[in-house]
């Protein structure tokens, strides 16, 4: 399954600045699409039963919001 959000994030200015291999956008997208074919990148809802686990959809969350959620969940 193609994750459109992941494809969009793959070419953000921040990612391109910090990850030189992503700068060849055509090759980078091909690699990501191949990864989607061969690997599942996310756990399914309720799939992992571990006590020290949190599943976060951060599509519409900032890094700060996500970090706060992790800190709150694990009492950090």
- pLDDT digit of tens for each residue in the chain (76 aa)? 678 888 898 999 999 999 998 999 999 999 999 998 999 888 888 899 998 999 998 889 999 999 999 999 999 9
List CB contacts of 11: < 8 A, sequence separation 6 or more: 22, 25, 28, 29
Residues 62 and 32 in one domain: no
Q: Looking at the structure, do residues 30 and 1 belong to the same domain, yes or no?
A: yes
What range defines the domain where residue 37 resides? 1-41
Quick one: pLDDT at residue 1?
A: 61
Q: Does 37 share its domain with 1?
A: yes
pTM reported for the whole predicted model: 0.64
Q: What is the pLDDT of residue 68?
A: 97
């Amino acid at each position: 399954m193609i994750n459109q959000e992941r494809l969009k994030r793959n070419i953000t200015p921040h990612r391109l600045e910090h990850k030189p291999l992503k700068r060849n956008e055509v090759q980078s997208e091909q690699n990501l699409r191949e990864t989607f074919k061969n690997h599942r990148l996310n756990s399914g809802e309720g799939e992992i039963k571990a006590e020290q686990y949190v599943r976060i959809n951060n599509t519409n969350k900032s890094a700060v919001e996500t970090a706060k959620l992790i800190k709150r969940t694990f009492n950090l």
